[in-house]
Structures are given as C-alpha cells and as structure tokens.
Amino acid sequence: MDDHELARILLAACDQDPATIDPDAISDQLRQALLRLGSETPDNLVAADRIGYGLAEDRPDHRVLGLKVNGSDILLAEIANVIETLQLPRELQEWFPTLTSRDWDAATRMITMLLLALEREADR
C-alpha cells in the first residue's frame, strides 16, 4: 500500500484539464485510497461515503472542482475557512497543552490553504 496514494490522486486531478475530469471516477479512487490508508473504521467509512471530489456550482461567476461534501456544493476548503474563525478548542488544548492560540491560527490557516491548493476553477 502506498501511503501517498490519496495525495497523488488529488494532485493528478489538479493537473487534468477540467473538461476531461470524471468526478465520480476520482471520488471512487479517493474512497478506495482512503480506506486502504486508514482501514475500514467507522469514521473512515463515513468520510469515504460523505466526502468526494466534485463540482461546486453555486458560485455567482464560476464553478469549482475540489473536495466537497457529497450531494452539496459545500467545499472542504470553505468548512476549513470557517474553522479558522473558531477559538482554540478546550479539548485540543487538553491534548496539546503547549499549543497556543497563535499555533492554532497558523495550523488552521495551513489546512485551509492546502485544501484550496487542491481546488481548481472549472470554467477556464
């Protein structure tokens, strides 16, 4: 098993011409890679079922291909962007007592930027 397969699938999708992308095929590859990487635990099965690669169309002037909640136009980068506005959760601070609010802000920004880097405009 290749631990980087999930990332490679997403990077390959970024390199494809948007007109030739088959979101269902990419979602299926992601689902299989996720379960190989993380095993078939209940949380991984839910993620594999609920998250896919697809087209978010409810934008005023463009469409975006990226990781999203299946059956919706909600991109994971948008969820991450909202998470950035949240204060450092108490539970996380208990797990990592040395984690500061600045660290939390930096970590959530990096997560958002990584997800954004995996998106692409579909209308170009």
What confidence score (pLDDT) does residue 60 get? 74
Identify any residues that bridge with 121 across adjacent strands, giving them in sequence order.
Answer: 64
Residue 52: predicted pLDDT: 97
Answer positive or negative: Cα dihedral of 82, 13, 63, 32. Answer: negative
- Which residues pair with residue 69 across a beta bridge? 51
Per-10-residue mean pLDDT, the chain, length 124: 88 92 96 94 96 89 92 96 97 97 98 96 75
Q: Given this model, what pLDDT does residue 1 score?
A: 55
Cα distance between residue 46 and residue 64, in whole Å: 23
Per-residue pLDDT, 61? 78
The pLDDT value given to residue 46: 97
**Mean predicted lDDT score pLDDT of the chain:** 94
